[in-house]
Amino acid sequence: MLEAVASLRGGGKQRREDESMDYVKAFVIGGLVCALVQILMDRTKMMPGRIMVLLVCSGAVLGFLNIYEPFVEFAGAGASVPLLGFGNTLWKGIKEAIETDGFLGIFMGGFTASAAGISAALIFGYLASLVFEPKMKK
């Protein structure tokens, strides 16, 4: 299936090999991040809301320290898909906004960079409420 995706855009064998590496890295790194958070979930009594906050804030801090962006370059989706990546996105947005808009950028860049994700969640979440009914857990 991965090959089908790669071949959708052509590019030859080398391209496909590079891509396979992309998927392996995404799987392993993304999986590792989740496995580590699982320890938090099981060993502490942290509720999911608090864990999500911890991840987002950590991502922003790691982005500020210039650690997360290289991590994203290496691991691709394995680093950008976890909520840590969301925090990093917020930081990147603010940094870029400061460079273009100065002080005001600190207030603008976060929401600008994360707009797609947050809007999607809000809009699709709302649309879902029009269509779906709550169901009992099994």
Partner 1 sequence: MSSMTKGMQSISFQEQPYLISSGSVVGKKEGEGPLGARFDMIDDTDQFGEKTWEAAESTMQKEACLMAIGKAGLKPQDIRYIYGGDLLRQGIATSMGVEALQIPMFGLFGACSTSGEALALSAMSVAAGYGDRILAVTSSHFGSAEKEFRFPLGYANQRPLSAQWTVTGSGAFLVGNQKSNIRISGVTIGKIVDYGLKDSQNMGACMAPAACDTVIQNFEDFGRNGEEYDHIITGDLGYVGTDILLDLVKKKGKDISAQHLDCGKLIYDQDSQDTHAGGSGCGCAATTLSAYVLPKIAAGEWKRILFVPTGALMSTVSYNEGESVPGIAHAVVLEHC
Partner 2 sequence: MGQTLEEKQKKEKAYQQYVKEKTPQHNVFVNMVKAFIIGGIICVIGQMILNYCKGIGLDQTQSGSWTSLILVLLSVLLTGFNLYPGIAKWGGAGALVPITGFANSVASPAIEYKKEGQVFGIGCKIFTIAGPVILYGIFTSWLLGLVYFILMKVGVQI
User: Where on the chain is the footprint of partner 1 (CB under 8 A)?
Assistant: 41-42, 45, 48, 132, 134-138
45 binds, among partner 1, partner 2, none (CB under 5 to 8 A by kind): partner 1
CA distance 1 to 56: 32
Do the beta carbons of residue 10 and residue 59 sit within 8 Å?
no
CA distance 87 to 97: 15
Nearer to partner 2, 70 or 118 (CB): 118
User: For helices 48-64 and 68-75, what crossing angle results, to 10°?
Assistant: 100
HSE-up (13 A, CA, CB side) for residue 80: 13
Nearer to partner 1, 13 or 45 (CB): 45
CB of 136 to partner 1, least distance (A): 5
87 binds, among partner 2, partner 1, none (CB under 5 to 8 A by kind): partner 2
Q: Identify the three-state secondary structure at position 68.
A: helix
CA distances from 17 to 22, 24, 80 (A): 9, 11, 21
CB of 14 to partner 2, least distance (A): 14
CB of 53 to partner 1, least distance (A): 15
8 binds, among partner 1, partner 2, none (CB under 5 to 8 A by kind): partner 2
CB of 121 to partner 1, least distance (A): 14
44 binds, among partner 2, partner 1, none (CB under 5 to 8 A by kind): none
